[in-house]
Structure 1
Amino acid sequence: MAGAGALGLYYGAHLARAGHDVHFLVRTGRAAVLARGIRVKGPAEKLHLKKVQVYGATEEIGPCDLVIVALKATANEALKKLLPPLLGPTTLVLTLQNGLGVEEPVAEVAGPDRVIGALCYIAAERKEPGVVECRFPGVMTIGKFGKPAGERTHAVATMFSRAGVKCEAQDNLEEMRWRKLVWNVPFNGIAIAAGGVTTDVIMADDGLRTLARRVMEEVVEAAAKFGHEIPRSFVDLQFERTAKMGGYRPSSLIDFEEGRELELEEIWGEPVRRAKSVGAPVPRMEMLYWLIRHRLAARKPAKRKR
């Protein structure tokens, strides 16, 4: 498990509990995870993984059957160093990253035939090293990069399902990416652009809720230009799921408020560019992109912890 943020902790803990030999690459807070293990908290479940295999470098882990990339897309340059020690002759690499164009950097290092992408519809937040709060476990969908899902992709989906994670394999990974953007573009974007608001605030405000729906519709229309038909019922489903999250801080808002890099290009920039390249008008998406860029430029650097 390359990365010990909310997704890495949540999914890694479930796989380890199910009996899989999970190795965690933890770059910060390693001592805390070693001492206290991993805790998953939430209304639907409580999980405490007391003994965790934690490493500070991938060279200490060695080749694996499956490598799960749970790093932010902003850290993809590091994959050139992190991935090679983990790759054996039959290794698969599953990336949990958000946005468009995130499989390509993994494929450049590992080779395209090894790469699987995942879309994680989950509301989870890392509260401290080794501790993740999950408000909504949701579902995971996975697909093969550039090809329909094959036997090994389905086997990975089955592995997650047996570990207690709702997971299914689908054949069109690019369409899955556009579907995830239906939620990510508006809710991550509005949370930042509106001054740091949680999902319940967006849902309760008529103007922000309407804006979120209009942005979703732009994403759906852009996807259709690439042959990906997303039904209106899918848009309605996003609002139903979001209503169950309560006062959830989207991951991009957390990154923004804590002074970390945002997946600006992957979640907003690249979708806008692709939409405009095929003549799809996306004025609200583009507005969010530029507003977030402006807020990033004006953001004060985070204070370093001593």
Structure 2
Amino acid sequence: MSNNTYAIIGSGALGGFYGAKLQKAGLEVHFLLHNDYQYVLENGFIIKSKDGDFNLPQVNAYNNINKMPKCDVIIIGLKTTQNHLLAELIPPLLKENTVVLLLQNGLGAEPEIAKIVGEDRIIGGICRICSNKESSGYIHHSNGGLIRMGRYAINYQIAEINNKMRDINQNFEKAGVSVNLIEDLLLERWKKLVWNIPYNSLSVILNARTDEIMGDTNTRNLVAEIMEEVLEGAKSCQRQIPDSYIQEKLDYTDKLQPYSTSMKIDYERGRPLEIEGIIGNPLRMANKVGMKLPKIGMLYQQLKFLDARNIDKFSSKRKIT
């Protein structure tokens, strides 16, 4: 096993949690932070987790990418709304054999990052986790944690598992994080969208937690109908997801504790929503091959309106204060 060094770009609910787990396991981890930099530099991370709480009073914290060392693995935990920053953030961290592990929601980010580093360096990670950043340096992990990892190949072709992925897998297993290595990254991204598209979208549009959405017959049925469209979208991209997967995701959500999606939290805090990565890009990918997804298209239009109005509202408040 290689003890890879890790750089975390986006040290919040995902990057902060997985990075903290890796450091706790004895690996060298470096965290890039923005608003939380001073707090984390002085106090480290507090992790409240279903797998056991722990504190890291001292971490390698930075607010300047050029002060970070080059690392073997760069973990991207930023929201996709900030991906325009990656052309400046990634290159200073690259060594000859550095790989980029993309722990982001949605679809379509890998081809954009490939323009920066080349497709042979990119690994996509699909996180099956419920984790929120409650405050500076404080992360609450309430469910899941599994990462399904696959290499990106141009146009999301099937890609074989390589030794670098196996090394990363061993590092994560040492940290107590389960990893499944996969060959079909596109299929896994569409499978994650089966949950992400309906629940993230409806949580904002309806101002509701997952338990509230599932507790009403009308919205529960709507979720299932949207999931059916996601399966059609995947099929248009030559990826088959069985119909039984819909019931599997409904049953999973029934068992969740009341949960506010990441998009709902972003909306409540006046942050830009990950509309393009989670909804727009899959919608366009399906439309490109002639597949119409009318319910998902309606969600997209509603969220674009709400997002723009919400950003204007919060911008006005910030100007006043």
- Distance of 1:81 and 1:278 partners within structure 2: 33
Give the alignment partner of residue 217 of structure 1, picking from 218, 221, 228. 228
CA contact (8 A) 1:143 1:169 kept: yes
* 2:262 corresponds to 1:255: no
CA contact (8 A) 1:158 1:168 kept: no
- Distance of 2:57 and 2:244 partners within structure 1: 41
- Distance of 2:137 and 2:75 partners within structure 1: 17
Residue 44 of structure 1 deviates from its aligned partner by 3.7
**Partner secondary structure for residue 28 of structure 1:** coil
Residue 179 of structure 1 deviates from its aligned partner by 0.8
Residue 301 of structure 1 deviates from its aligned partner by 2.2
- Quote the residue 1:126 is aligned against: 133
- Distance of 1:69 and 1:128 partners within structure 2: 20
Residue 86 of structure 1 deviates from its aligned partner by 0.2
- Quote the residue 2:285 is aligned against: 274
Q: Deviation per CA, 1:28-84, whole angstroms, max 9, x where unpaired?
A: 111111222111113442121121110111211121000001111111111111111
Which one is further off, 119-128 or 106-115?
Answer: 106-115
- Distance of 1:94 and 1:126 partners within structure 2: 20
Give the alignment partner of residue 91 of structure 2, picking from 84, 95, 106. 84
CA contact (8 A) 1:38 1:50 kept: yes
Which one is further off, 245-254 or 17-26?
Answer: 245-254
- Quote the residue 2:76 is aligned against: 69
**Partner secondary structure for residue 164 of structure 1:** coil
Give the alignment partner of residue 101 of structure 2, picking from 82, 90, 94. 94
- Quote the residue 2:156 is aligned against: none
CA contact (8 A) 1:123 1:245 kept: no
Give the alignment partner of residue 314 of structure 2, picking from 259, 281, 301. 301
- Distance of 2:114 and 2:160 partners within structure 1: 16
Residue 159 of structure 1 deviates from its aligned partner by 1.9
**Partner secondary structure for residue 88 of structure 1:** coil
**Partner secondary structure for residue 90 of structure 1:** coil
- Distance of 1:304 and 1:247 partners within structure 2: 30
Q: 2:242 is aligned with what amino acid? A: P
**Partner secondary structure for residue 48 of structure 1:** strand
Stretches of structure 2 lacking an aligned partner (at least 5 in a row):
1-7, 154-158
- Distance of 1:234 and 1:18 partners within structure 2: 34
- Quote the residue 2:4 is aligned against: none
Residue 280 of structure 1 deviates from its aligned partner by 2.5
Q: Deviation per CA, 1:120-164, whole angstroms, max 9, x where unpaired?
A: 111111001111111102411010011332221232223212211
**Partner secondary structure for residue 54 of structure 1:** strand
- Quote the residue 1:34 is aligned against: 41
- Quote the residue 2:194 is aligned against: 182
* 2:164 corresponds to 1:152: yes
- Distance of 1:244 and 1:161 partners within structure 2: 26
Q: 2:95 is aligned with what amino acid? A: G
- Quote the residue 1:18 is aligned against: 25
- Quote the residue 1:172 is aligned against: 184
- Distance of 1:4 and 1:121 partners within structure 2: 18
Q: 1:282 is aligned with what amino acid? A: L
Residue identity over aligned pairs, in percent, reads 37
Stretches of structure 1 lacking an aligned partner (at least 5 in a row):
none
TM-score, reference length from structure 2: 0.91
- Quote the residue 2:248 is aligned against: 237
- Distance of 2:262 and 2:79 partners within structure 1: 10
- Distance of 1:278 and 1:255 partners within structure 2: 32
Q: Deviation per CA, 1:186-239, whole angstroms, max 9, x where unpaired?
A: 000010111x21111111111111111111111012111222111233222222
**Partner secondary structure for residue 261 of structure 1:** coil
- Distance of 1:156 and 1:89 partners within structure 2: 17
* 2:76 corresponds to 1:48: no
- Distance of 2:66 and 2:308 partners within structure 1: 37
Number of corresponding residues: 305
Q: Quick one: structure 1 residues 177 and 255, their matched pair in 2 at CA, closer, same or farther if it must change by over 3 Å? A: same
Aligned Cα root-mean-square deviation (Å): 1.5
- Distance of 1:78 and 1:246 partners within structure 2: 34
- Distance of 1:38 and 1:239 partners within structure 2: 33
**Partner secondary structure for residue 9 of structure 2:** coil
